[in-house]
Structure formats: structure tokens, C-alpha cells
């Protein structure tokens, strides 16, 4: 097998690329995984700030073929990276990953029925392309602040922050109200003189104690004894619970708002509840940050919280629209990343494919681009809960085509209006460019039932 007659090229060795590798290795299809960086993990290798972790239960977010058993529900970033490395090693994927190899451009030819994949280290040819290049850009989102050049302290974006640093003699401000701020602030508070969260507007935040419950522990125990179905069932139940909460919160926002007010009412007084914990948007219009230990640190005063626009910086402080002055030595921007769905150029028969606003059928195939799979995980739940079944479907399609001697599979290009499942700032900033997902309910527990059968509807084979 040479680089010229592979069945599949996979882009990226993050969660998506590793899952694709696992299913491809079992399928008998030949493949290579091309990874720009020098290690596996994707975002779980690039994000190294204090407190970086997932906010999906990891028993559900880890792969179905290798569920991660742990007394903790949410895992730190380093544990997730180590898990992915371990899966890659156990499944014999490491020799198939070409590290330090960035895919620059991929061109499909109907004449040959193949992709020509140009990389920073030469070119390859394959019948199919599976793109797991992630959806965050390498460049963080850094808002423009007035008088920032006057500030005498340090300003660092969370994505550039090394989680091993300490700030014991420094006053730290964390700017943001999303998951990054909510994970980062409690961890920073342990290594800083003081921490204040400065948020432009409040978010819904849900605090957990992170210990796996009795049912989860029981299922894990049975799994260790060789009985695997309880964990599989548990994952399905947790997914159904995520979907039910998502639908219920969107359908009954008043009840959901009441739920969150009660959740914070015993931690902060009525004024703080109104100012800092009462968002302007409806529940689950944005991802809900999950906190661990935040309540306790707010109560003890180790973390403060302020809500208002940052009007300007001074030599040693931020001045908010509320006239509050928040002194600080270090300003950590937990202002998020930009979305970037395609990190390579795609060409079909010599023409560059315009990717802005392209339709993404079932979250798997984009319009008008044959033999190309782009598994898109779930927004409101664990990424893998939708990405992994989609990868299985892609592998089934590729095997089916190989058996039947079919050359191409494609979906039609269609113009669709954007209809994102959630509407946080990073989605709204990229709305014009976002792929338009169709052919799904956006609820993995329902979609996945329908994905178990390969029915040709929507896909055109030739
Ligand atoms: C801090 C943080 C917390 C998160 N928490 C959760 C959570 O709790 N639950 C959840 O479901 N999701 C979470 N996510 C979203 C997360 O991005 C996805 O769950 C998932 O990890 C995406 O995996 P991926 O492999 O598709 O992409 P990535 O992890 O981004 O990996 C893509 C890989 O492709 C490589 N690559 C990119 N372009 C090229 C190229 N041109 N050539 C070669 N290689 C390339 C990159 O180097 C990278 O290794 C979180 C994200 C972040 C940043």
C-alpha cells in the first residue's frame, strides 16, 4: 500500500480523528491520519490553562468502544489528552498517524474518482476524505479594549495561558462568563492573591460536585466485571437526559429561569443574584457552563464577580460601565475562540469549493463535494454522542461502496438559511460562514436511532 492508493485519508488526530481511526482499522479499509501537531488530542492538547476540563460527563463524552471509567464525572484536559493517547496506542493507531503533517489542500477528480491531498510533507491520494480538523481556529477571540496600551500589568488570553504558572502575589481578573471563565477562575483562585470574574453580561451556570453518582459507579463496576451493556445503556440515558433538558429549557424558559435562580439563591444575596446571575437570553440558547467549587469560593470571597462592559483600562485597573474600578496585575481573557470549520482548501474537478454557508447533510456530508465526510458533533451535549455514530455511518458507506464497486457518494448543494442550534457570541460572529446542518433533529438520541440503518435517502451513489 503506497501513499497513492489509500482508501481513506483522515485529517486530524483529535477526538474525531481518533474515533475515525478506530472504526477504519476494523473495517479493512486502508487509511492514514494526518495531524498538523506533534501529538494527539486536538483541543485537549492545545488548551493548557488553569482548570481546563470538559463540561460533559466523560462517561458519555468518551468513546462508546472505550468508555472512560472514573469516580469523577468531568475530567481535566490533561486526563482527556492522556485518554486519547491511550486509545490511539491500544487501537494500534499511532503508526498510522503522520504527525507534523498539515493538510493544505484536497482536490477531488471525477475522472479518477480520487482525492489528491497536498500536505506540508508531500501529497497522498485516497478515495475518501474524512475531515476531523476541529471547529475552533488557532487564533483566540480578543476583543478590542480602550486604552489597553496604558495597562502596566499582563494581559493573556486563556488559550495562551500555561496552567503551571502561579500568581501568588498578583491580583487576577478573568474576563468572560462562558465555560472557560467558569472553569478557569476557581483553579486560578488557588494560585493567585485574588481573582475577580468580570463579565459583560451574566450566563446560566450550573454547579455540580463532580462525584459520580451511585448508578454511574454501579455501571462502571459491572463494566469492570465484563458486563458492558449497563454502561452502554447509561450513556444512552445520559444522552436522552441532555436532550430532554435542552428541549424542556427551550420550551419552558420561565420554569428554567426559576430553576437557575433557586440554584444560586443560597449562594449570593438577592442583589447579586439579579446583577450577576440573571442572564438576558433564554436558558440553553447558549451552552451552560458547569461549575465545580465556584459557589464555595464566591461565599468565602476568594472569587469576586462584577458585571459590566469594560470601558477602558488604566495603568493598574479595568474601569467598567458601572463606574466600578477593578484593580489587577494580570488580566486573563476568557473570551473564547473563533469558529473555523474548514482548515484546508477543497477543490472539485479543478474548481475551489466555496465553503461559506455550505449545507451539511445529517452533519456528515457537505453539498456538492463527493466522497468527503465531515462528522459534526453535538452542540448541546457531548461532541462524540453525534460524531461517533456519524463516523460509523461514514465507514459503512465506504465499505458498502467498496463491496459494490461504486465510485462516488455525494449530496446535493443547497442554499439554506442559518439555523444554529445555539446562539452564543462565537456562533453569531461566524454565522455567515457556518455550515448549515440539515436532515437532523439536532437531538442525538433521536438522530442516532435513525442512523443505525443505512438507507440511501439523501445520498447519491454512482
Ligand atoms: C476548553 C474546551 C472545552 C470543551 N469541552 C467540551 C465538552 O465538555 N463537551 C464537548 O462535547 N465538547 C467540548 N469541547 C469541544 C471539543 O472541541 C470537541 O468536543 C472535540 O474535542 C472536537 O474534536 P475534534 O477532533 O473534532 O477537533 P479538535 O480537537 O480541534 O482536533 C482537530 C485536530 O486536527 C488537527 N488539524 C487541524 N487542521 C489540520 C490540517 N489542515 N491538517 C492536519 N491536521 C489538522 C489539529 O491540529 C487537531 O489536532 C470543548 C472544547 C474546548 C476548547
DSSP state letters, 285-334: SS---EESSHHHHHHTTSEEEEES-EEEE-SSEEEETTS-EEE-SEEEE-
- Does ligand 1 lie within 6 Å of residue 383's CB atom? yes
Q: pLDDT confidence of 449, banded at 50, 70, 90?
A: confident
Helix (H, G, I), strand (E, B) or coil at 202: coil
- Does ligand 1 lie within 6 Å of residue 55's CB atom? yes
The pLDDT of residue 1 is above 60:
no
| Per-residue model confidence (pLDDT) at position 247 | 96
The pLDDT of residue 178 is above 60:
yes
Give the residue, by CA position, lying nearest to ligand 1 atom 15.
383
| Per-residue model confidence (pLDDT) at position 448 | 85
Residues 195-236 pLDDT 10s:
999 999 999 999 999 999 999 999 999 999 999 999 999 999
- Does ligand 1 lie within 6 Å of residue 36's CB atom? yes
Assigned C-alpha cell, 357: 454557508
- Does ligand 1 lie within 6 Å of residue 43's CB atom? yes
| Per-residue model confidence (pLDDT) at position 453 | 59
- Does ligand 1 lie within 6 Å of residue 346's CB atom? no
Residues 83-141 pLDDT 10s:
999 999 999 999 999 999 999 999 999 999 999 999 999 999 999 999 999 999 989 99
Angle at 137 between CA 182 and CA 176, to 5 degrees: 25
- Closest C-alpha among 49, 47, 44, 45 to residue 192: 49
| Per-residue model confidence (pLDDT) at position 452 | 60
Atom number in ligand 1 closest to CA 119: 42
Q: What is the pTM of this model?
A: 0.96
The rounded percent of the chain whose pLDDT value lies above 70 is: 98
* Distance of CA 239 from the midpoint of ligand 1 (Å): 20
Residues 406-432 pLDDT 10s:
999 999 999 999 988 888 888 999 999
Give the residue, by CA position, lying nearest to ligand 1 atom 14.
54
The whole-number average pLDDT for the span 149-155 is 98
The pLDDT of residue 288 is above 80:
yes
- Does ligand 1 lie within 6 Å of residue 359's CB atom? no
- Does ligand 1 lie within 6 Å of residue 167's CB atom? no
Q: Share the mean pLDDT of the chain.
A: 96
- Does ligand 1 lie within 6 Å of residue 329's CB atom? no
The pLDDT of residue 451 is above 90:
no
Assigned C-alpha cell, 99: 504527525
| Chain Cα centroid distance, residue 446 | 21
Instruction: Tell which one of 20, 21, 133, 138 to mutate to probe ligand 1, the residue whose CB is within 8 A of the most ligand atoms.
Output: 133
* Distance of CA 254 from the midpoint of ligand 1 (Å): 34
441 vs 279: which has the higher pLDDT: 279
The pLDDT of residue 318 is above 90:
yes
H/E stretch holding 398 reads helix 383-404
The pLDDT of residue 242 is above 60:
yes
* Distance of CA 426 from the midpoint of ligand 1 (Å): 15
- Closest C-alpha among 198, 202, 170, 204 to residue 184: 198
- Closest C-alpha among 188, 23, 234, 3 to residue 98: 3
The CA distance from 227 to 192, in Å, is: 45
Ordered alpha helix ranges (H), 8-148: 15-27, 43-46, 58-61, 77-90
Residues 3-38 pLDDT 10s:
778 999 999 999 999 999 999 999 999 999 999 999
| Domains in the chain with CATH codes | 6-136+338-461 (3.50.50.60), 139-209+253-337 (3.50.50.60)
Work out the burial of residue 54: count CB atoms within 10 Å of its CB; fewer than 13 is exposed, 13-18 middle, 19 or more buried: buried
The neighbouring-strand residues paired with 207 are 291
Atom number in ligand 1 closest to CA 34: 43
Assigned C-alpha cell, 4: 497513492
| Per-residue model confidence (pLDDT) at position 450 | 74
The CA distance from 97 to 32, in Å, is: 6
The pLDDT of residue 455 is above 70:
no
Amino acid at each position: 500500500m503506497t501513499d497513492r492508493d489509500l482508501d481513506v485519508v483522515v485529517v486530524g488526530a483529535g477526538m474525531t480523528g481518533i474515533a475515525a481511526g478506530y472504526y477504519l482499522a476494523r473495517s479493512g479499509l486502508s487509511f492514514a491520519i494526518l495531524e498538523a501537531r506533534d501529538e494527539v488530542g486536538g483541543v485537549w492538547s492545545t488548551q493548557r490553562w488553569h482548570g481546563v476540563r470538559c463540561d460533559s460527563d466523560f462517561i458519555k463524552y468518551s468513546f462508546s468502544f472505550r468508555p472512560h471509567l472514573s469516580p469523577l464525572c468531568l475530567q481535566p484536559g490533561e486526563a482527556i489528552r492522556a485518554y486519547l493517547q491511550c486509545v490511539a496506542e491500544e487501537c494500534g493507531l499511532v503508526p498510522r498517524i503522520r504527525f507534523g503533517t498539515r493538510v493544505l489542500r484536497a482536490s477531488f477528480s471525477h475522472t479518477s474518482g480520487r482525492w489528491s491531498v497536498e500536505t506540508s510533507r508531500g501529497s497522498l491520494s485516497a478515495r475518501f476524505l474524512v475531515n476531523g480538523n476541529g471547529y475552533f481556529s488557532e487564533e483566540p477571540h480578543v476583543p478590542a479594549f480602550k486604552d489597553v496600551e496604558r495597562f502596566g500589568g499582563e494581559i493573556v488570553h486563556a488559550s495562551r495561558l500555561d496552567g503551571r504558572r502561579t500568581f501568588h502575589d498578583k491580583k487576577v481578573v478573568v474576563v468572560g462568563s462562558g465555560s472557560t471563565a467558569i472553569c478557569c477562575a476557581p483553579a486560578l483562585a488557588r494560585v493567585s492573591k485574588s481573582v475577580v470574574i468580570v463579565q459583560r453580561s451574566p450566563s446560566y451556570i450550573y454547579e455540580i460536585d463532580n462525584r459520580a453518582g451511585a448508578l454511574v459507579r454501579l455501571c462502571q463496576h459491572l463494566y469492570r466485571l465484563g458486563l458492558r451493556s449497563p454502561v452502554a445503556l447509561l450513556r444512552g440515558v445520559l444522552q436522552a437526559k441532555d436532550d430532554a433538558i435542552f428541549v424542556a429549557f427551550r420550551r419552558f424558559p420561565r420554569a428554567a429561569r426559576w430553576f437557575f435562580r433557586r440554584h444560586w439563591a443560597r449562594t449570593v444575596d438577592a442583589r447579586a443574584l439579579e446583577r450577576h446571575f440573571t442572564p438576558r437570553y433564554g436558558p440553553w440558547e447558549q451552552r451552560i457552563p458547569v461549575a465545580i467549587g465556584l459557589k464555595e469560593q464566591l461565599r468565602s470571597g476568594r472569587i469576586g464577580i462584577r458585571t459590566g462592559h469594560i470601558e477602558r483600562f488604566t495603568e493598574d485597573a479595568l474601569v467598567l460601565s458601572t463606574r466600578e474600578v477593578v484593580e489587577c496585575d494580570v488580566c486573563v481573557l476568557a473570551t473564547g475562540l473563533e469558529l473555523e470549520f474548514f482548515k484546508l482548501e477543497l477543490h472539485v474537478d479543478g474548481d475551489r469549493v466555496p465553503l461559506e454557508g455550505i449545507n451539511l447533510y445529517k452533519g456528515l456530508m457537505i453539498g456538492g463535494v463527493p466522497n468527503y465526510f465531515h462528522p459534526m458533533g453535538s452542540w448541546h451535549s457531548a461532541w462524540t454522542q453525534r460524531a461517533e455514530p456519524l463516523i460509523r455511518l461514514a465507514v459503512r458507506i465506504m465499505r458498502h461502496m467498496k463491496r459494490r464497486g461504486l465510485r462516488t457518494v455525494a449530496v446535493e448543494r443547497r442554499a439554506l438559511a442559518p439555523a444554529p442550534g445555539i446562539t452564543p457570541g462565537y456562533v453569531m460572529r461566524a454565522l455567515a460562514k457556518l455550515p448549515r446542518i440539515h436532515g437532523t433533529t439536532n437531538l442525538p438520541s433521536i438522530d442516532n436511532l435513525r442512523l443505525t440503518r443505512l438507507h440511501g435517502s439523501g445520498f447519491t451513489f454512482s
